[in-house]
């Protein structure tokens, strides 16, 4: 099985890390390929970035001309676009935001999300709500670190994560969700210290994508996710 | 006061109609200017179109170099992008979806939305939910007509609208909302036949934008709609 | 356009302040007239007062014999009565509670209300809920000051407001709403200190009323707000 | 134990019927006394009536000078006022709307309300919501009969009730609630035909009031239902 | 009238205390009989215990061969089983969890529950939700004391209760509910110190059961609580 | 990896069918073993059965003495017990109800459940609600067929399923969930006819269990699902 994992930003190094995490999580027989949009924001932090990212990811998949794939994982935590990708491709599509929440619901009564900047909390809340999995979310808490800061000082990142996790726990969380694709790997470091399961959305999404493929399930066309209508669409500012 | 009204698609003729409707609704002293994205879909019907449209509208405002303006009206019913525009500009931003719902809540206990294709209903429901005004929405009903079909046969459009409106009324609606910017003008034609107020989002948004400007209010920077962070962003597929 | 602004209590001085605020907020061409009930409570602070006020305001409008008007603004924050007024008059009716919330939703993801006594918080919460705009309300917080205390010591009022506003901000508010008609004017004083938009319900309601009138919209008769049935009604304890 | 049952309208004959129903439901040792407001509407059908009724009922209790009582039952289905009465008296207060819903929840998973005119449905829905018991309400359905029509033609009333009950059942109701104090007695007539329990709010409220008194419980003063503040209040249009 | 009060655990001494509380709360003419399951947990603290208890209580009622009874009170706070008992017996069934919440809603705008161990909070929240009375619940707070610890040191129990009650009050509670059948009696001790009504579920349930019996109401068979289908069922591990 | 799949009833033939479905869905390297409770109901249809089943399944796992296992799948659609099993075992636990809903959310905006008897709909609704996945459930619809009837007449079962599915679709479902473990296999037969994805809970749960094991995740002990406290518990009526 071949899964395309799309980064939501243009930072190739982050795609590599995400792909590393995805591969570590994938079952035997699964091939993971990363896809970095050729345009969009270098990191997605807020609504403007998120909408720009959504269009860029849709374009990257639209113009993808590599080997066929069996599923798509969207590796932008809280970012927009998943419904559009569901319309566009004929294979299962799993967004890491919803994926982490789905698995977290199986592990405890309430889960909390620890993310990067506070400004991203609202996006994540809305994304969980529309995905149908917000009911058991106790809190979405920011660490104050930007997406591209996460990798710079591992000790600082861990410490900020643990502080934010404590706030989520006080709000009732029994399970934690890593609220940024760039946190992949961190769950190993902090899981034991916290005494709570920590769910990484990238790994969760890869496994859910494998599950859907394995069960022969794909997106319903009977309703909101029908194939896009044929029409004239221009993808990005015309040159010149 | 000068209000920019952005069309969510690239069809200039539709921008003109929207601007006509906006001008008819505007108070004295208000100038309305239309803005058509230079890229994006020719009509927004579904999630893919909506996300593409959101980025194109953000880009159109980002690169706008006309006279200064006092407010932005986003004339895409149910389409994405409003939070990103709120981050980006320093003037009030009103989306026609939420605008229509806000006014409809003042006119009856429950309102219904009549829109174009059934595939758009889900987008509209999510948009109302995240705007905080879904509670009093009794139903979102499709007419089965595409965005660009609306203007082609006025009798057919009216008849389809009235049939859908009846379903909304049975679901409890006491007020109707025109669920597409391209329906602007239709409220005059159908209002009397229905015996219910009909709210056009374009007019509603223009008036709400005027209200905010008149009261000296603009988007809060204290939280989710802080100014976008400076970073590298590429708006569309690089040439070459 | 002529707007009647009804005070919810019998304190004429407060009506004057409210009218002053309403006039400051009104657009050009709008005339504002205040209406003070001839009976009811001298201030509305709690459920008993609120229900008494509702009947008195309905009676004041029923027996009003001044010049014709185009809209009614109900200037009692959290107070009952708006649906009854909608049944009774043939022009748009806007309550300052809902009005402030509607505009606040356009300015940030979550808003908070700062009001007078803690005992009023419940009324306000219920009023927002039934108006359909509670979803984005992060908190309703009391200052501990009574309605008629507000005007007595400006410094104390500001300080109490700022402290309560801080609690609303901690609960997630990005926008503040003045939760009492008697606070009109305070938004200028505290807005800058808070770094958040502050919405005054009186101004908001005036602008929304103007908007509805401007758009030719009025209350739906198709459902819950049909005209009251003709029947015998006695308004207040018979003399003797 | 002595319970005051307040009619919400000025029709004394209806008070008598309600008192008859209350007495039939009361336990041994309970005395029921009816109280008819000296002002207000002759029947409460809609928001204007309901607000007028609330003030009149509050006034009737305020000026009541009969024997001491142990509890108050408010016999206006869906009508306003209960929170104000809770502030005003030192004994338990039970509204027939909430009472019927509380007992109905003990009898089936979902209940339905059958009421008089469609225009009353909204009031009832809001009343159940703010009382905290709307969650299990499957539907509120009107019969099309006015309050004072109920007693005129028993066969017509039963037939209209059964038709409305069928709609409630289709919406999921397993228990029915009589949605008007003037329907008291009807539950005997229709219960068997429906094959569902039918809850009369008057009887339910009397029993709940007895329960609270028997358990030594009364309204909390710690919060929203604190005693009304002493102040100047005028109850009705001053003579002159 | 004869009411069976079932303990949810096998500790006979606790049944006796519960029966004592039930008798103190019952009206004249009501006989209370306790029923202790012959199997199940010695105390119910958590999900495993709760499910084991539910089956044991159902079995105890199934095999009960004492005098006929008019109602069943289920005295396990937050424990499962009530819907199953409703299917099984032809008399009204009242669970102390829902009973306390129903009465608490009549006494204040929001209520709080103080229970034993934190691990029980989730069960109680779910039980209130499915009973339809969670809307006005401000908080469910644990004292840290196990069920069988409650009776051991009265001073410690009171002190832990008061501390937990304070947290509930801060969360908005105006009324407190004793969240364990073993707390019956405690409301007298703590009520005055708290200045809030304290509702004991056992007393509440006895009174509600009396109310239903008195009104001639019993569980609906029209839907989810139809009589169990005849089939082969084995109640507990076969001997041998 | 070894997964134990527990039947919720004592019908061994049904366990075999479920195991067959589980094996068909499992990934390579997964061993599936069925577990049939030695006591409980022969089929679970309603609340009494469900609670009896929950205790019997807990007992079956408690006394299981076969080879070690890596996860538990609970194959009773809508049946109780999952939280108790989560407390009891140290491996991931997935209930087929929640599992089907989690995957269904990834395939469409709204899903519907088609189950056996109408009396089971309420259990399923509550189970989805407490699992946190009810938000996107458009309807739970009964076929009118009992659990043990499903296998008897394949044509009748398919026809009843298709009729119920149509009602779910009209309510907004874009994806269907098989609402009974005994329907496993049916998705192949009806999927094409419906033009919608059909999710079988058994397969979904097996895949989710594999996912959790593969990711090294298991139930949180930090809160509601802590290990059961050591205490005296009796599992079924003592002999003699």
Residues in chain A within 8 Å Cβ distance of F224: 108-109, 174
| Other Cβ atoms closer than 10 A to D232 | 11
Residue of B nearest to C200 (CA): B215
- As a whole number of Å, the CA-based R_g of chain E is 17
Instruction: Output the pLDDT for position E240.
Output: 52
Q: What is the pLDDT of residues D198-214, one digit of tens each?
A: 999 999 999 999 999 99
Q: Count of CB contacts below 8 A, C vs D?
A: 158
User: How high is the mean pLDDT of chain D?
Assistant: 95
Residues of chain F with C-beta less than 8 angstroms from the C-beta of A93: 106
Question: CB distance F133–A133 less than 8 Å?
Answer: yes
Q: How confident is the model at residue F239 (pLDDT cuts 50, 70, 90)?
A: low
**Segment D4-26, tens digit of pLDDT:** 999 999 999 999 999 999 999 99
* pLDDT tens digits along D89-124: 999 999 999 999 999 999 999 999 999 999 999 999
Nearest by CB: A51 against B46, B55, B121 = B55
Residue C58's contacts (CB-CB under 8 Å, 6 or more residues apart) are C81, C84, C85, C88, D48, D51, D52
Tokens representing F231?
A: 């205490």
pLDDT at A182: 84
Q: Which residues of E touch F52 (CB under 8 A)?
A: 55, 58, 84, 233, 235
Q: Mind giving me the DSSP string for B58-116?
A: HHHHHT--SS--SEEEEE-TT-S-HHHHHHH-SS-EEEHHHHHHHHHHTT-S-EEEEES
Mean pLDDT along residues E222-230:
95
Are the beta carbons of C42 and D233 separated by less than 8 Å? yes
Q: What average pLDDT score do residues D150-176 get?
A: 93
Which pLDDT does position D3 carry in this prediction? 98
Residue C240 has pLDDT above 70, yes or no: no
pLDDT average, residue stretch E188-211: 93
Across the interface, do D220 and E174 touch by the CB < 8 Å criterion? yes
Tell me the per-residue pLDDT of C20-74, one tens digit each, with 9 for 90 and over: 999 999 999 999 999 999 999 999 999 999 999 999 999 999 999 999 999 999 9
Q: Is the pLDDT of residue F240 over 80?
A: no
The strand ranges marked E within chain A are 2-7, 31-35, 40-41, 71-75, 93-95, 111-115, 137-142, 175-178, 198-200, 233-234
Position with higher pLDDT, B226 vs D236:
B226
Among the residue ranges A152-156, C12-16, E58-62, the one predicted with the least confidence is A152-156
**CA distance, residue E124 to nearest chain D CA (Å):** 17
Q: Cα C192 to chain center, whole Å?
A: 23
For residue A91, the model assigns a pLDDT of 98
Q: What are phi and psi of F230, to 5 degrees?
A: -70, 130
pLDDT less than 70: residues of chain B: 239-240
Q: What angle do CA E11, E14, E19 make, to 5 degrees?
A: 130
pLDDT at E116 exceeding the cut of 70: yes
Q: Per-residue pLDDT tens for D22-81?
A: 999 999 999 999 999 999 999 999 999 999 999 999 999 999 999 999 999 999 999 999
Nearest to E235 among F45, F58, F237 (CB): F237
Cβ(E89)–Cβ(E61) under 8 Å? yes
Minimum CA–CA partner of B48 in chain A: A84
Question: From the list E88, E119, E233, which residue is nearest F41 (CB)?
Answer: E233
CA distance E129 to chain F (A): 9
Q: Note the pLDDT of residue B151.
A: 82
Q: Which helix (H) or strand (E) holds D69?
A: none
Indicate whether E108 pLDDT > 90: yes
Asked whether residue D240 carries a pLDDT value surpassing 60, the answer given is no
- Residue to mutate among B25, B98, B106, with most C CBs inside 10 A, is B106
**F84–E234 C-beta distance less than 8 A:** no
Pair of tokens at residue D32: 């029921």
Q: What is the per-residue pLDDT for C192?
A: 84
Per-residue pLDDT tens over the stretch F95-138: 999 999 999 999 999 999 999 999 999 999 999 999 999 999 99
Q: Residues C99, C204: contact at Cβ < 8 Å? A: yes
Residue of E46, E74, E125, E222 to mutate, interface with F, max F Cβ within 10 Å:
E46
Indicate yes or no: CB of A51 within 8 angstroms of CB of B52. no
pLDDT in the model for residue C19: 97
Task: Tell me how far apart the alpha carbons of residues A131 and A201 are, in angstroms, rounded to a whole number.
Answer: 14
CA distance A37 to A58: 9
Counted residue by residue, chain E has a size of: 240
Is 70 exceeded by the pLDDT of residue C80?
Answer: yes
- Smallest CA-to-CA distance from E121 within E93, E149, E97, E155 is with E97
Cα–Cα dist A211/A175, whole Å:
22
Domains and CATH numbers, chain D: 2-95+204-214 (3.40.50.12500), 97-201 (3.40.50.12500)
- What CA–CA distances, in Å, run from F226 to A192, B192, C73, E77, F217? 16, 63, 56, 19, 15
Residue F229 predicted with pLDDT over 70: yes
Structure tokens at D143: 């019969």
Residues of chain A below pLDDT 70: 239-240
CB A59 within 8 A of CB A235: yes
A222:F196 CB<8 A: yes
Model confidence pLDDT, tens digit, residues C127-172:
999 999 999 999 999 999 998 888 888 899 999 999 999 999 999 9
């Amino acid at each position: 099985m071949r899964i395309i994992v799309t980064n939501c930003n243009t930072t190739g190094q982050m795609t590599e890390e995400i792909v590393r995490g995805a591969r570590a999580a994938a079952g035997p027989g699964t091939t993971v390929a990363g896809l970095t949009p050729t345009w969009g924001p270098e990191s997605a932090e807020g609504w403007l970035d998120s909408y720009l990212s959504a269009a860029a990811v849709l374009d990257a998949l639209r113009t993808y001309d590599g080997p066929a794939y069996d599923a798509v994982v969207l590796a932008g935590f809280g970012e927009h676009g998943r419904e559009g990708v569901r319309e566009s491709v004929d294979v299962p599509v799993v967004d890491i935001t919803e994926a982490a929440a789905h698995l977290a619901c199986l592990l405890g009564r309430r889960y909390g999300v620890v993310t990067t900047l506070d400004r991203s909390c609202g996006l994540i809340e809305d994304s969980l709500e529309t995905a149908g999995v917000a009911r058991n979310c106790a809190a979405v808490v920011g660490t104050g670190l930007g997406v591209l800061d996460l990798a710079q000082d591992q000790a600082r990142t861990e410490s900020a994560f643990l502080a934010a996790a404590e706030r989520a726990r006080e709000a009732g969380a029994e399970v934690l969700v890593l609220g940024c694709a760039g946190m992949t790997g961190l769950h190993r470091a902090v899981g034991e210290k916290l005494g709570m399961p920590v769910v990484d959305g990238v790994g969760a999404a890869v496994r859910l994508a494998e599950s859907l493929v394995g069960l022969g399930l794909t997106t319903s066309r009977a309703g909101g996710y029908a194939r896009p209508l044929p029409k004239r669409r221009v993808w990005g500012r015309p040159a010149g």
